[in-house]
Amino acid sequence: MIKADLARVVYDRHGGVSYREAQDIVERMLDHMRTRLIGGENVKLTGFGSFIVVNRRERVGRNPQTGDTITLKSRKYITFKPSKQLKF
């Protein structure tokens, strides 16, 4: 599924908006989620799942090509935990 598919669903289910407006709604929603995640906040979509910001500590790694030891800086990354309602 891509953003265009989401926009199509919004357009089909809400007859009062044009397809262009549906695309704008999807884009604004994703921008808002992106901004919150970059700011370190978790995003929870009830019935779908949660995007969780995790802090990874600084650690020692190894360059696989040379075998040299390097220090990997601390960083944030995002994980997704699906809702229990999503069962496969």
Please state, in angstroms and rounded to a whole number, the distance separating the CA atoms of residues 80 and 84. Answer: 12
CATH number at residue 81: 4.10.520.10
Residues 51 and 88 in one domain: yes
Q: Is 60 in contact with 71 (CB distance < 8 Å)? A: yes
Residues 20-55 have pLDDT tens digits of 999 999 999 999 999 999 999 999 999 999 999 999
Residues 10 and 53 in one domain: no
Q: How far apart are the first and last CA of the chain?
A: 17
Residues 61 and 83 in one domain: yes
**CB atoms closer than 10 angstroms to residue 85:** 9
Domain enclosing residue 85, as ranges: 41-88
* Total domains in the fold of the chain: 2
The band of 11, judged by pLDDT with boundaries at 50, 70 and 90, is: very high
Average of pLDDT values for 7-30?
93
Residues 26 and 55 in one domain: no
